[in-house]
Amino acid sequence: MSLSSISRRNLFRVSALAGGGLMLQLNMPLTALAEDSGTLVQSKELNVYVQIDTDGQITIYSSIPEMGQGIKTTLPMIIAEEMGARWEDVVVLDAPLDAGRYGLQGAGGSTSVPRNIDTMRRMGASAREMLIGAASLLMEVEREDLDARESKVIHSSGESMTFGQLAAVAVRQPVPDPEMLSFKDPRSYTIIGTSIGGVDNLVIVSGQSQFGIDVDVPGMKFATYARCPRIGGRATAFNAAEIKAQPGVTDAFILQPDARAGKASMGFLDGLADLRGGVAIVGDDTWSVLAAREKLQVTWDESGASQDSWEQMVEQAKRIAAQGGGEVRLDSASVAPAFAQADNRVLEAFYQFPYVAHVCMEPMNATAHFKQGDAGIPDTMEIWLGSQFPGQVKEIANNMFGIAPENVTVHAKRMGGGFGRRAVHDFAAEAMAISHRIGVPVKLTWTRPDDIHNDFFRVGGFEQMKAAIDSDGKLAAWDQHYIGFSKQGKPVIGSGLRGNEFSMVALDNARVTQSMMDIATPCGAWRAPGSNTNAFVEQGFIHELAVLAERDHLEFLLELMGEPRWLSEGDVNALNTGRAIDVIKLAAEKAGWGKTLPAGTGLGLAFYFCHAAHVAEVAQVSVDADRNYRVEKVTVAVDVGPIVNHSGAMSQVQGSVIDGLSTMAGQQITMENGEIQQDNFDQYPVMRIAATPQIDVHFIESDNPSTGLGEPALPPLAPAVTNAIYAATGVRIRSMPLSELGFKLV
């Protein structure tokens, strides 16, 4: 099915809805729906995902937070497919937060598809079997002669009943044994493998979608929160009388740092997000509190504040690189002799990548409502926010205020971007603390400078690379020294080499070491953590070696992959060099590798494996004498197994390429004496439309399990572009962002 046929169908739906006005009934409370709708199945597992009304409307609940990755469309497609539903009959609603019914309701690590696909298929197949059971009873025919498709159960004679007609009886059918379920032949799929638009598209384009920042609670106040510019400082005094006298301001007060906010049961989040000390200003609207904040004068106690300095970090890293050493992660006996051998050519290179911020388009925000209990009535907290792991918010309320999880209600809203930032809930802790203090609902909206200054950054880092090429032009030794960052001795998220890096698992002549410098600057997950920086170093350096060896880069890279083999059979998180070779060859072929290009234009190749995905990219870049560069085209070859939603998959690949380009072109967070030096988009630019390259995407839908695509197309972009710049100009790029080197993306 092509997108255009889907589109026509969508247009029809939209027109029909538009005729009745743009106000949609998508905000109907779930409780009302649960009461009104017949529950399809008695299975606790199944009825939480699927409901069918007697009028034929099929409601599918989406339990995973949506941040633009398209999961709210993708997972329901799988259920609808196995049920035999017509997509036009499906309405998708957000499931309430309920770990008991839905398990982990979280989004991160490109895991939502692989983690949920089997459950979704079972939910759909189970519903189908119950509908067929109902039809068998009502039509008095054998089950074997019945099939479900187009929202109907159809008998081999051609007679049929609609799902709506069957719903009431289907509810009373026994829940099939999961072991006995059969699944559709993929060749008969009509929904999976097509292009389906996002289920919230209509509300988005009509301005009706509700992000966290749009929440309106009766009696709600508005708040801003000023934290110490130096991370870790606390407020001791401020001009309270003046601030409280500002128009539209109703209250202002100091909040003390609170480490209880940072406790988290999910290990990677634990200790990350303590409540920071600062001054809250509360008022009647956002503007009033922001205007008052301009007049705020705070005395900060900076005795415990961060002293981090990016310039000092760079100097220290260079010293460490020169000294060598570090924790040995891998050491092959063949490395030292290879470097000592006289006729081997040796190359050394120091690579560097900066801290970067998430800058989700929707700045961090949360609306909280604390209600103090009374004799026999417990305290309660209600909170509305965009979150990648909304269940964590219950823990924070419990840790900070002792409110039992069952007395915390979390309304997870669509996120205006996540990219890892909304895995951390410091902003929720702030909103809850403010509401706890004033006892009324309050919406806390961060300004863009708040959002940048108080991010959990993609960690910067350095790698000292060294390799030897033998007289046959082959890689004889690889020595990689990663110099990253730790907090109290423990590497921060994204710093250091993962155990399954190419260099660590696929080379038999490698030495890998790691050194860490302790910092106070908070770091967190940022789209493809670790991979998004290491890909640049590893794939850039491999190209350097190909040049040194006077070999074709494509041929050299394929040689490094060696024989097609799965490094750990059956483990999707292990590199499969066969799949790697396939995507590398495909990207190269589609990009016209080896073709003649005008002077100043070059092709650059990179491959990276992460998040169970094999992705190769070829960038075609032209560069003028003033270092203005244009990425004309990026050719991408991806193997993540069969694609569920081609439109969503295409979006993720295009978005990852553009995100990667935007980041490498001009984004850098620096800090001086613990203070973040970038405030807003004028100093931290996001790429604009004119620089958008042509992006040519090819999916190899190999016979492997479907895996996620939110992150893995990003890491290969940067090295593909820098390798292309080398091909075009002979200038080797070993540090990011390119704007610091005088290169300007046009």
Partner 1 sequence: MVNTIDARHHPCLGRLPGRPDAFLLLLAWFDSGSMLKRLLLRRSILIPGMGGVASMNKFVLMVNGEKVEVQAQPEMPLLWVLRDKLKLTGSKYGCGIAQCGACTVHVNGSPMRSCVLPVSAVSGPVTTIEGLAEGGELHPLQNAWIQHDVAQCGYCQAGQIMSAAALLAKNKNPDDDDIDQAMAGNYCRCGTYIRVRKAIHTAAAYYDADTSSTKVTGAGQ
Looking only at the bridges linking them, the beta strands covering 628-639 and 744-745 are parallel
Instruction: Compare residues 323 and 680 and give the one whose CB is closer to partner 1.
Output: 680
Residue in 28, 237, 336, 361 binding partner 1, rule: CB under 8 A: 361
Chosen residue from 83, 360, 603, 637 binding partner 1 by CB under 8 A: 360
Site pattern 426..445 for partner 1 (x: CB under 8 A): -------------------x
Helices and strands in the chain: count of H runs, count of E runs: 21, 28
Sign of CA dihedral 162, 167, 173, 174: positive
* Residue 437 tokens, joined: 């203090």
Distance spanning both ends of the chain, measured CA to CA:
36
Asked if 686 touches partner 1 (CB under 8 A), the answer is yes
Residue 617 interacts with partner 1 (CB under 8 A): yes or no: no
- From 3-11, 88-96, 255-263, 402-410, span contacting partner 1 (CB under 8 A): 3-11
Smallest distance, partner 1 to C-beta of residue 476, A? 40
Among 129, 362, 455, 711, binds partner 1 (CB under 8 A): 362
Using rule CB under 8 A, residue 447 touches partner 1: yes
Long-range CB contacts (within 8 A, 24+) of 138-144: 138/165, 138/166, 138/169
CA distances from 550 to 435, 539, 546, 547 (A): 65, 16, 6, 5
CA distance linking residue 118 with residue 75, whole number of Å: 10
> Checking DSSP bridges between strand 221-227 and strand 613-623, what pairing results, if any?
unpaired
Q: Residue 446 is which amino acid?
A: W
CB of 180 to partner 1, least distance (A): 37
Residue among 132 and 220 whose Cβ is closer to partner 1 = 220
Look up residue 721 and give its DSSP letter.
H
- Interaction residues for partner 1, span 255-274 (CB under 8 A): none
Q: Does 21 bind partner 1 (CB under 8 A)?
A: yes
Smallest gap from residue 38 Cβ to partner 1 (A) = 31
Indicate whether 657 belongs to the interface with partner 1 (CB under 8 A): yes
Which residues ranging from 275 to 294 are in contact with partner 1 (CB under 8 A)?
Answer: 285-288, 290-291, 293-294
Least Å distance between CB 220 and partner 1? 10
Candidates 194, 515, 656, 668: give the one binding partner 1 (CB under 8 A). 656
- Residue 732 or residue 744: which is nearer to partner 1 going by CB? 744
Query: Quick one: 225 or 462, whose CB is closer to partner 1?
Result: 225
CA angle 580, 581, 584 (to 5 degrees): 85
Nearest to partner 1 of 196, 459 (CB atom): 196
Sign of CA dihedral 320, 322, 324, 330: positive
CA distance 161 to 155: 9
Query: What beta strand segments (E) does 172-285 contain?
Result: 221-227, 234-238, 249-255, 278-283
Which residue in the set 159, 242, 679, 701 belongs to the binding site for partner 1 (CB under 8 A)? 679
Contact flag: residue 210 with partner 1 (CB under 8 A): yes
| Cβ-based nearer residue to partner 1, 540 or 648 | 648
Residue 650 binding partner 1, by CB under 8 A: yes
Contact 384, 432 (CB under 8 A): no
* 475 bridge partner residues: 469
All residues at 6 or more sequence positions from 569 whose CB lies less than 8 Å from its CB, including other chains: none
Q: How far apart are CA 725 and CA 552, in angstroms?
A: 16
* Residues whose CB falls within 8 Å of the CB of residue 393, separated by 6 or more in sequence, listed in order: 383, 385, 387, 408, 410, 425, 428
Nearer to partner 1, 208 or 239 (CB): 208
Radius of gyration of the chain (CA): 28
**Interface pick for partner 1 out of 388, 407, 647, 707 (rule CB under 8 A):** 647
Q: Segment near partner 1 (CB under 8 A), from 121-129, 315-323, 341-349, 685-693?
A: 685-693
455 binds partner 1 (CB under 8 A): no
When asked if residue 87 is in the footprint of partner 1 (CB under 8 A), the reply is: no
Binding-site size, partner 1 (CB under 8 A): 87
What's the CA gap between 482 and 496, in Å, rounded?
6
Question: For partner 1, which stretch binds (CB under 8 A), given 11-19, 236-244, 393-401, 562-570?
Answer: 11-19
- Shortest Cβ distance from residue 71 to partner 1 (Å)? 11
623 binds partner 1 (CB under 8 A): no
Q: Which of residues 326 and 737 has its CB atom nearest to partner 1 in the complex?
A: 737
Kindly tell me which residue out of 4, 157, 303, 488 binds partner 1, with binding defined by CB under 8 A. Answer: 4
Stretch that binds partner 1, among 402-410, 532-540, 620-628, 678-686 (CB under 8 A): 678-686
C-alpha dist (Å) from residue 449 to 359, 636, 677, 682: 10, 35, 10, 11
Q: Which of 29, 100, 207, 730 binds partner 1 (CB under 8 A)?
A: 207
Beta carbon nearer to partner 1, 506 or 687: 687
Owner of token pair 């409780």: 31
Q: Report 41-80 residues binding partner 1 (CB under 8 A).
A: 67-70
Task: From 142-150, 447-455, 556-564, 719-727, give the range in contact with partner 1 by CB under 8 A.
Answer: 447-455
SS3 for 454-513, per residue?
CCCEECCEEEEEEEEECCCCCEEEEEEEEEEEEECCEECCCCCCCCCCHHHHCCCCEEEE
Q: Judged by CB, which is closer to partner 1: 454, or 707?
A: 454
What would the x/- binding string for partner 1 be over residues 213 to 232, using CB under 8 A?
A: xx-x-----x----------
SS3 category, 676: strand
Toward partner 1, which CB reaches closer, 4 or 31? 4
Measured CA distances, 447 to 68, 444, 558, 667, 692 (Å):
21, 10, 48, 19, 28
Amino acid at 524: G
Per CB under 8 A, 390 contacts partner 1: no
Side chain identity at 125, as an amino acid letter? Answer: A
Residue type, 185: D
Is position 689 an interface residue for partner 1 (rule: CB under 8 A)? yes
With 0-12 / 13-18 / 19 or more C-beta atoms within 10 angstroms meaning exposed / middle / buried, residue 569 is exposed
Is 304 a residue that touches partner 1 (CB under 8 A)?
no
- 243's CB contacts (< 8 A; 6+ apart) are 249, 252, 279, 281, 292, 295, 296
In the complex, least distance from residue 27 CB atom to partner 1, rounded to whole angstroms = 13
193 or 271: CB nearest partner 1: 193
Selected binder of partner 1 within 271, 417, 592, 705 (CB under 8 A): 417
73 or 722: whose CB is closer to partner 1?
73
Region from 88-96, 184-192, 197-205, 611-619 binding partner 1, contact rule CB under 8 A: 197-205
211 sits near partner 1 (criterion: CB under 8 A):
yes
Residue closer to partner 1 by CB (options 293, 481) is 293
Query: What is the smallest separation between the CB atom of 215 and partner 1, expressed in angstroms?
Result: 9
Do residues 534 and 466 touch, judged by C-beta distance below 8 A? no
**Could you give the count of Cα atoms lying within 13 Å of 477 in the half-sphere of its Cβ?**
21
| Residue 513 touching partner 1 (CB under 8 A) | no
